[in-house]
Amino acid sequence: MPRGRFGRRALITATAGAVMATSASAARAEAAAIDIGYIRWPQERQTISLLDKPPADDGLAGAKLGIDDNNTTGRFIGQQFELTDTVVRAGDDPVTALTTLGQRGITLILTDVPADLLLRLAAAGGAKGVTLFNVSAPDDTLRQHDCRANVIHVAPSRAMLADALAQYLVWKKWSRWVLAYGSHPDDTLLADAYRRAARRFGARIVKELEYKDTGGARQTDSGVVETQQRMPVFTQGLPDYDVLVTADENEVFANYLPFRTWDPRPVTGSAGLRPVSWDPSSESWGGTQLQDRFRRMAHRRMTPLDMQAWTAIRMIGEAASRASSVDSTKIMQYMKGADFGIAAYKGRELSLRDWDWQLRQPILLSDGRTIVSVSPQPGFLHQFTELDTLGFDRPETQCKLQ
């Protein structure tokens, strides 16, 4: 039974409610308040499984819980956190949303937008002292050639996810892979990440398969019959291999593969055993409490995007409490300093890589029911922190922050 009387209210205001928000903060003159922005670009996304349909408030609900948690802490030290959610739809200019937030004095903004929009926002916000928290875009280029000094990456990159899975497969001695990737540009980038991971950790890709997206519906009546015939053929006649690694960010084929491959082989990557920043089944390191708090608030399970948004909000709250200030400059100064760390139910303190502002973090390997393992795996050593065996490490970085 939820009985908590505190920290259950998320202070959410829509951009249209600016007048209300102003009077509300005047009433709380004693607490120093900070408003955090959230720009999202909801896109229709098809999924193979009905169970994977993204909720309408995917990510936003995680941010709301983060605001609640920040405020529970904040009331002990006179800090108050609010969230302003802005939805950008096709045809809208996201830079307008940024300007509107800026007029309200909001300079710390979570973004759930694709890489190209993120770069436009970063350019527009740079002069205004805006810092963006990328909670969704996994593109490695945003951490490499296209890195920006005013973008913090809370979402793990494709390279981090691929490395996390690769370490586990190598630890299992499943080192002969077949790599099956989709025909979308995202899938090509993810396939690149798996090729890099195989090279780094000593796995061998014995065959590559491309699955062309020829369009069509994901679920159809009696579609199961067709899938049952199609998937074995797709995986027929392969050389000896241990495991199928799939790169299918658009849910075209990977989730059809488990139990339907020609040879009996486990499926990993975009289906089967998946590398994720969070899973609603994660219960270690106090995770149960977060899952319970989230379910009480949102009446659904907590997704990876929810976790990434929660973490971004908590990073801001944590830096504000350590810096004893809600001034965004002081918050960012602390967050980018050597002492910053954040706890996020993954057994280790997470911190920022100062060469590309990527949040270093363990990656969970989930089969959709339980957490099978957590990477980095034992034996993958690093002179500073094993978390830097995931993704692009300092010596490999192409990022020049400016």
Partner 1 sequence: MQVAVTPGGRPLAWLLAGLFVAATPSPVSAYTAYVSNERDNTISVVDLDQMKTVKTVPAGQRPRGITITKDGKDILVCASDDDTIQIIDTETLRVVGTLPSGPDPETFALHVSGNPLYVSNEDDNMVTVIDVPARKVIAEIPTGVEPEGVAVSPDGETIVNTSETTNMAHFLDVKTHKMTASVLVGARPRDAMFKHDGSEVWVSSELGGTVSVIDPKKHVVTHKISFDVQGLRGDVIQPVGIQFTSDDATAFVALGPANRVVVIDAKTYKVRKYLLVGQRVWHMAFTPDQKYLLTSNGLSNDISVIDVAGLDVVKSVPVGRLPWGVVVSPK
What are the residues binding partner 1 (CB under 8 A)? 1-7, 69, 72-73, 76-77, 286, 288-289, 292-293, 314, 318, 321-322, 341-343, 348-349, 385-387
Backbone angles phi, psi at 361, to 5 degrees: -160, 145
Smallest separation (angstroms) from partner 1 to the CB of 368? 23
Strand order in the sheet with 79-87: 12-14, 79-87, 32-40, 108-112, 131-134, 151-153
- Of 204 and 296, nearer to partner 1 (C-beta) is 296
Could you give the angle at the alpha carbon of 150 between the alpha carbons of 153 and 133, nearest 5°?
35
- Of 234 and 380, nearer to partner 1 (C-beta) is 380
Residue 77, burial from CB neighbour count under 10 angstroms (0-12, 13-18, 19+) = exposed
Smallest separation (angstroms) from partner 1 to the CB of 77? 7
Long-range CB pairs of 329-337, under 8 A, 24+ apart, other chains included? 329/129, 331/34, 331/108, 332/108, 332/131, 335/152
Residue from 65, 43, 48 nearest 137 by CA: 43
Q: Are 246 and 267 in contact (CB under 8 A)?
A: yes
> Kind and range of the H or E element at 99?
helix 94-103
- Of 172 and 295, nearer to partner 1 (C-beta) is 295
- Of 4 and 185, nearer to partner 1 (C-beta) is 4
Q: How many residues are given for the chain?
A: 402
Strand order in the sheet with 176-182: 204-211, 176-182, 243-247, 267-269
- Of 3 and 173, nearer to partner 1 (C-beta) is 3
Give me the torsion for CA of 378, 382, 384, 388, rounded to 10°. Answer: -80
CA 59 and chain centroid, separation: 9
Smallest separation (angstroms) from partner 1 to the CB of 214? 47
Smallest separation (angstroms) from partner 1 to the CB of 78? 11
- Of 87 and 343, nearer to partner 1 (C-beta) is 343
- Of 78 and 129, nearer to partner 1 (C-beta) is 78
> Kind and range of the H or E element at 39?
strand 32-40
Smallest separation (angstroms) from partner 1 to the CB of 11? 16
Smallest separation (angstroms) from partner 1 to the CB of 286? 6
322 Cβ contact partners less than 8 Å away, ≥ 6 residues apart: 334, 339, 340
- Of 72 and 281, nearer to partner 1 (C-beta) is 72
Q: Are 262 and 238 in contact (CB under 8 A)?
A: yes
Q: How many CB atoms lie within 10 A of CB 16?
A: 7
Smallest separation (angstroms) from partner 1 to the CB of 52? 27
Q: How far apart are the first and last CA of the chain?
A: 50
Smallest separation (angstroms) from partner 1 to the CB of 350? 9
Smallest separation (angstroms) from partner 1 to the CB of 114? 31
Smallest separation (angstroms) from partner 1 to the CB of 87? 28
Helix 115-126 with 94-103: angle, nearest 10 deg? 40
- Of 103 and 288, nearer to partner 1 (C-beta) is 288
- Of 6 and 27, nearer to partner 1 (C-beta) is 6
285: left (phi over 0), alpha (psi -120 to 50) or beta: left
Smallest separation (angstroms) from partner 1 to the CB of 72? 5
- Of 100 and 281, nearer to partner 1 (C-beta) is 281
Q: Where are the beta strands (DSSP E) in 221-377?
A: 243-247, 267-269, 274-276, 342-343, 349-352, 359-360, 363-366, 371-375
Bridge partner list, 180: 209, 246
